[in-house]
Chain A
């Protein structure tokens, strides 16, 4: 390695070919060229399509639940169907949609481009991850036809070992999808370590990549434990192995420890990539160097690390020892610090910026609003005595929807709009984009703010019937959810329209500085026809744009001094 410092290389600017005839979309033709593609961009789109499908499926289920809750007694579903639907809604949204959402779809597409690589380190493995994900998803869907699951997405024992529903195929599906997640994580870590372009020190990586790096670490460290937990649960049902079922000598609290050891870090698998997108959006649309680059980058790693030590805060009233609860509560608050630091850094980035309120930026601001509420209510339920009252009520439901949907999904939407021109080569309609963002923002609050109120008033979650005093708030929430659904339909329409009729996108419509914008929209098969060389940081808006398009003149001219 010492020799590299003596290497001299010659570089020159490579102008972008605005609209090359060949791009990654028409490089190969036919369905098969997509299904067995090794191109990270196409794999990213395959994931994007899949998660969109599951998001709509999960969304329809959510609307069914909200419709049932219009009245305190039975309205359109019976109790067992209701229980199956909330389980499916949770399992689909978490395992099939949100965990793969940002990393596997947008991450796959942009991680190699942002480091100037032609692909991820292991393209075959990448394709394998996708098909493993599909296989897992099929198992999960198979459980719907064979009797569904009514355990809640947490599969708590002993209910999950005793219920008569198709727990095995669902958990097997999640088990299989875990491997997809692990393989993607391995792929990303190796790619970031080994494939960065010349000049791209760790400190010159876009923050989106730091967040994906932190996410990948969580994926590889936590997911194997989920795998073994679910395997034990499956064995428990199939063979009657008594690890978790008290009837066989097992312990249900042990299951909860195992489960949350994965599932709490999994929360950070879901939210940390969103932080990365927000960092990109805020800097680009303020046209300003990000404030506190290292603070944001390292706080992602800090969150990943602390995230492994706080799982017990899901179990304050589970019957675990009081001492554990106290320790877990103490550690939990320290996740709040790096999270707060991020928010302050983003706000500071806006200072003296040149703020352009394009649709992606509106989503970034909506994120700041919603996620801050999600974070602050997290402090509320981390406090031991208050948690006793709020645990397993609608307050929790509202809190995690503010974090997962108000945070991750809003950031994902911002990311999709931001990178839409790059991925598709088309611009969407800005006016419709803004209107839809506003609709989603307001209806989201309408849906979930009342749930905080219900929760603190004592409305337990997973309730098919409820007391009449809650009806007003439930109805308000349901109406909000209908408008929210409408917002997503509007988005689907104008985005679909742009695919066919949208104006052609220039290579860098937002004036960004990171590498993915230094190639054509849509990119060519190999992303770059040269080896990019990085001179400046990804947010150095004060440097001239052409200095970000540097590449090696020719690899053979490298001389060793």
Chain B
């Protein structure tokens, strides 16, 4: 939602009267965007709640198939990445460009770690025949609706995974921006908004993890 990608110091766009107005506008815009994101995931959460209410036994059985250890590890990884991106913004506000780039890169590495772990989980499930919807062929769960749980699992984690990828793209772009010094202590809106987005990705996962992995 950044307002500017002018690569000069001239980042105030013509239709704003001053930088405060520009900064507040993009921040408000970003928050509203985050609300829409939450509503989108909200739709999936509603589907989750309804199906769990209909088949509580299935959700208990199927959750045993998920690797809570890897899930917990991923939770730690994402929380750490939220911390590093906050530090990156802090450094930028102090014009410590090098440090900021280091923190941003660390965030990028942590995000990649998250995806690798997710990849390990997915391939493990695929090997067993736990595929979404009609392709499901695993016989280890004695419940006729077993495929439904995993459909919801794949949809929720898949949509979340796409957001992780988008976030990585944004963070990469911010690294370039810091390198070019087009963001700095007087103008850091794009990095700040990227940080907000990344926190959202993190928070969604913090909801997903107990809802999918820790059912008893």
Name A's B-contacting residues (CB within 8 A).
112, 117-123, 125, 182, 185-187, 189-191, 193-195, 220-221, 223-225, 227-229, 231-232, 235-236, 239-243, 248-250, 254, 258, 526, 531, 555
- B24 with A224: CB separation less than 8 A: no
- From A112, A117, A243, A248, B134 is in contact (CB under 8 Å) with A248
- From A193, A228, A236, A240, B44 is in contact (CB under 8 Å) with A228
Complex CA distance for A519 and B13, rounded to whole angstroms: 22
Chain B 34-47 interface mask (CB, 8 Å, partner A; 1/0):
01110111111011
- A194 with B24: CB separation less than 8 A: yes
CB distance from A175 to the nearest CB of B (A): 11
Closest to B136 in A: A240
- Which of chain A's residues have a CB closer than 8 A to the CB of B44? 228
Complex CA distance for A483 and B102, rounded to whole angstroms: 69
- B33 with A186: CB separation less than 8 A: yes
Q: List 20 A-B contacts (CB under 8 A).
A: A121-B3, A122-B26, A186-B33, A190-B32, A194-B21, A194-B25, A195-B25, A220-B32, A220-B39, A224-B40, A225-B43, A228-B41, A231-B159, A239-B151, A241-B154, A242-B148, A242-B151, A254-B47, A254-B50, A555-B17
Question: Is the CB of B132 closer than 8 A to any CB of chain A?
Answer: yes
- From B14, B15, B36, B151, A224 is in contact (CB under 8 Å) with B36
- Which of chain A's residues have a CB closer than 8 A to the CB of B29? 121-122, 125, 186-187, 190
- Which of chain B's residues have a CB closer than 8 A to the CB of A249? 144-145, 147-148
Closest to B37 in A: A224
- A186 with B43: CB separation less than 8 A: no
- Which of chain A's residues have a CB closer than 8 A to the CB of B152? 243
Complex CA distance for A121 and B33, rounded to whole angstroms: 14
- From A123, A125, A227, A248, B133 is in contact (CB under 8 Å) with A248
Knowing that A118-B15, A182-B33 touch, tell me 16 more A-B residue pairs with CB under 8 angstroms.
A121-B15, A186-B32, A190-B26, A221-B39, A223-B36, A224-B36, A228-B41, A228-B43, A231-B155, A232-B155, A236-B133, A239-B134, A241-B154, A242-B133, A243-B47, A258-B46
- From B15, B24, B51, B132, A117 is in contact (CB under 8 Å) with B15
- B1 with A122: CB separation less than 8 A: yes
CB distance from A189 to the nearest CB of B (A): 6
B:195-216 near A, CB below 8 Å: none
Interface centre among B36, B147, B148, by most chain A C-beta atoms within 10 angstroms, is B36
Closest to B54 in A: A251
- Which of chain B's residues have a CB closer than 8 A to the CB of A236? 133
CB distance from B19 to the nearest CB of A (A): 12
- Which of chain B's residues have a CB closer than 8 A to the CB of A239? 132-135, 151
Question: Is the CB of B176 closer than 8 A to any CB of chain A?
Answer: no
Interface centre among B24, B25, B148, by most chain A C-beta atoms within 10 angstroms, is B25
Given A186-B32, A225-B42, A232-B47: A241 in contact with B25 (beta carbons within 8 A): no
- B36 with A241: CB separation less than 8 A: no
Given A224-B43, A241-B151: A125 in contact with B135 (beta carbons within 8 A): no
Question: Is the CB of B166 closer than 8 A to any CB of chain A?
Answer: no
The 4 closest A-B pairs by CB, nearest first: A240-B134, A228-B43, A240-B133, A118-B15
CB distance from B210 to the nearest CB of A (A): 21
- Which of chain A's residues have a CB closer than 8 A to the CB of B3? 121-122
- Which of chain B's residues have a CB closer than 8 A to the CB of A250? 148
- A241 with B133: CB separation less than 8 A: yes
Complex CA distance for A291 and B27, rounded to whole angstroms: 36
- From A112, A225, A248, A555, B40 is in contact (CB under 8 Å) with A225
CB distance from B62 to the nearest CB of A (A): 13
- Which of chain B's residues have a CB closer than 8 A to the CB of A241? 132-134, 151, 154-155
CB distance from A132 to the nearest CB of B (A): 14
Question: Is the CB of B76 closer than 8 A to any CB of chain A?
Answer: no
- Which of chain B's residues have a CB closer than 8 A to the CB of A125? 1, 29
CB distance from B37 to the nearest CB of A (A): 7
CB distance from A321 to the nearest CB of B (A): 14
CB distance from B202 to the nearest CB of A (A): 19
Question: Is the CB of B28 closer than 8 A to any CB of chain A?
Answer: yes
CB distance from A115 to the nearest CB of B (A): 11
- B36 with A182: CB separation less than 8 A: yes
- A242 with B147: CB separation less than 8 A: yes
- B43 with A123: CB separation less than 8 A: no
CB distance from A252 to the nearest CB of B (A): 13
CB distance from A134 to the nearest CB of B (A): 21
- From B15, B35, B40, B159, A123 is in contact (CB under 8 Å) with B15
- A235 with B134: CB separation less than 8 A: no
- Which of chain A's residues have a CB closer than 8 A to the CB of B159? 231
B:31-84 near A, CB below 8 Å: 32-33, 35-37, 39-44, 46-47, 50-51
Chain B 149-175 interface mask (CB, 8 Å, partner A; 1/0):
001101100010000000000000000
- A121 with B14: CB separation less than 8 A: no
Complex CA distance for A14 and B16, rounded to whole angstroms: 21
Complex CA distance for A393 and B1, rounded to whole angstroms: 45
Closest to A216 in B: B32
Complex CA distance for A254 and B51, rounded to whole angstroms: 10
- Which of chain B's residues have a CB closer than 8 A to the CB of A118? 14-15
CB distance from A212 to the nearest CB of B (A): 15
Interface centre among A118, A186, A236, A250, by most chain B C-beta atoms within 10 angstroms, is A186
- Which of chain B's residues have a CB closer than 8 A to the CB of A232? 43, 47, 155
CB distance from A185 to the nearest CB of B (A): 8
CB distance from B28 to the nearest CB of A (A): 5
Closest to B33 in A: A186
- Which of chain A's residues have a CB closer than 8 A to the CB of B47? 232, 243, 254, 258
- B147 with A248: CB separation less than 8 A: yes
- A526 with B14: CB separation less than 8 A: yes
- Which of chain B's residues have a CB closer than 8 A to the CB of A228? 40-44
Complex CA distance for A199 and B133, rounded to whole angstroms: 58
Closest to B146 in A: A249
Complex CA distance for A274 and B31, rounded to whole angstroms: 28
- B40 with A121: CB separation less than 8 A: no
- Which of chain B's residues have a CB closer than 8 A to the CB of A224? 36-37, 39-40, 42-43
